[in-house]
Structures are given as structure tokens and as C-alpha cells.
Amino acid sequence: MKNDRLGGAELSRLAELYSLERYLFAVVSQRFRDSQALSSYDFFAIVTWKSNRAKTKIKRGLAALGRSVPSLMHEVSAATTTQAKVEVLLQVWGIGLAMASAILTVCYPEQFTVLDYRAWKTLQQASVEGLAARYPMNAEEYLQYCQVCRRLAAQAGLSLRDFDRALWAKSWEDDLLGLVEEE
């Protein structure tokens, strides 16, 4: 190609971004493990993956606190408890539990899982032992959800990430089956 910006190496890099979740868990997660830091690019890639519409609000929330992504993530990595890691992120306007869970899941995939209504509802409908009666509303309830998910993932022989995907897929499939059965 005439334009070097679309040469083979660049096209390969861009093709890797097409599957954002794969990129986040293969590349960004490893980068965080190696450096205990996230660039703004990687941080906002996670935000976009979880909820594209939230990125501007979160950027404003960081600015309102006078914080940069690297300083925020340094504080997250320095936090000594899982609850403290969640609470650091919740200080930023625009980052709620669901978004904090996505950021933490990419950074610490063995400890955290994405808080998603579909996944939570799947567990609730299965009357899973240890699951709170309501959707998590604070860091403590979210961490209880993570604990339940880690236990069930281990019992199923799945990674925490694959367990979360399975829960989401169960809800999605149930919705789809309900739609096609109406025909």
C-alpha cells in the first residue's frame, strides 16, 4: 500500500483491536500484570468495551478530581485490599460498580469479574447459594458476588472470565429463545 499508515504491521495491529475483549484480556491484562499501570488508551479501551457511552463522563470525572489515568491506576494497584481497589475507582464520577468491575476484571482477572445484570440475573434465577437477594449496590456486595462467582467457576472447572461469559450467554440465549418462540 502507498500509505504506510495502512501497511501490513499496522493492519495486523488494527485487526487485533477488532475483537476488543480478546485484545483487553490478552494484551492489556498482561501489560497491567507486567507494569501495574494502565495507559489512558488502555483504560478507555476498557471503558469503551463495558459502556461506550460512559467514556466522556468518566473523562470529565477524572478531570474534576484533577486525576490522570496513570495516577488513578497507580492508586488502584497500591491499594492493599480488594475493597480498597474498588473504592478507589468509585471516587471518579461516572465510574459505578459495573464500570469499576470491568476495569478490575481486565487488571485482575483471577480476583474480579464483570458485574453485569444479565450474569447476576442468571445466578439469581438459579437460586445460587450465597448470592445476595438484590443486585450489588456497593463494594462489599460486589465482592460477595465475586466470591460466589469464583466458587462456582472453580466447581465448573472454568476460569472466572469464561464463567462470566457463560452466565451472560445463558441470559442472552434465554432472551433469544423467548423471542423466537413468540413467532
Q: Within this chain, do residues 64 and 147 fall inside the same structural domain, yes or no? A: no
Q: Which residues of 169-182 are buried (b: 16+ CB within 10 A; e: fewer)?
A: ebbeeeeeeeeeee
Q: Within this chain, do residues 125 and 101 fall inside the same structural domain, yes or no? A: no
pLDDT digits (tens, 9 = 90+) for 35-54: 999 999 999 999 999 998 99
C-alpha 99/C-alpha 82 separation (Å) is 15
pLDDT digits (tens, 9 = 90+) for 85-131: 999 999 999 999 999 999 999 999 999 999 999 999 999 999 999 99
Domain that holds residue 28: 1-112
Closest CA to 63 of 52, 55, 74: 55
How many other C-beta atoms can be found within 10 angstroms of the C-beta atom of residue 155?
9
Question: What domain count does the chain have?
Answer: 2
Q: Within this chain, do residues 140 and 50 fall inside the same structural domain, yes or no? A: no
- What one-character-per-residue DSSP string does 87-140 give? HHHHTSTT--HHHHHHHHHHH-TTT-----HHHHHHHHHTT-TT--SS---SHH
What pLDDT is stored for residue 1 in this prediction?
A: 42
Q: What average pLDDT does the segment 128-149 reach?
A: 94
- Mean pLDDT across the chain: 93
Q: Within this chain, do residues 29 and 53 fall inside the same structural domain, yes or no? A: yes
Cβ contact 41:59 at 8 Å:
no
What pLDDT is stored for residue 183 in this prediction?
A: 63
Q: Within this chain, do residues 74 and 124 fall inside the same structural domain, yes or no? A: no
Q: Within this chain, do residues 133 and 66 fall inside the same structural domain, yes or no? A: no
Model pTM greater than 0.95? Answer: no
pLDDT band, very low/low/confident/very high, at 176 (cuts 50, 70, 90):
very high
Place of cell 423466537: 180
Q: Within this chain, do residues 98 and 136 fall inside the same structural domain, yes or no? A: no
The C-alpha angle 179, 125, 25, rounded to 5 degrees, equals 80
Q: Within this chain, do residues 104 and 148 fall inside the same structural domain, yes or no? A: no
Q: Within this chain, do residues 105 and 182 fall inside the same structural domain, yes or no? A: no
pLDDT digits (tens, 9 = 90+) for 53-88: 999 999 999 999 999 999 999 999 999 999 999 999
Q: Within this chain, do residues 22 and 101 fall inside the same structural domain, yes or no? A: yes
Q: Within this chain, do residues 1 and 81 fall inside the same structural domain, yes or no? A: yes
Q: Within this chain, do residues 103 and 51 fall inside the same structural domain, yes or no? A: yes
Closest CA to 65 of 97, 41, 95: 95
Q: Which of 64, 82, 112 is the last residue of a domain?
A: 112
Q: Which of 90, 112, 134 is the last residue of a domain?
A: 112
Q: Which of 63, 95, 112 is the last residue of a domain?
A: 112
The C-alpha cell that represents 170 in the structure block: 445463558
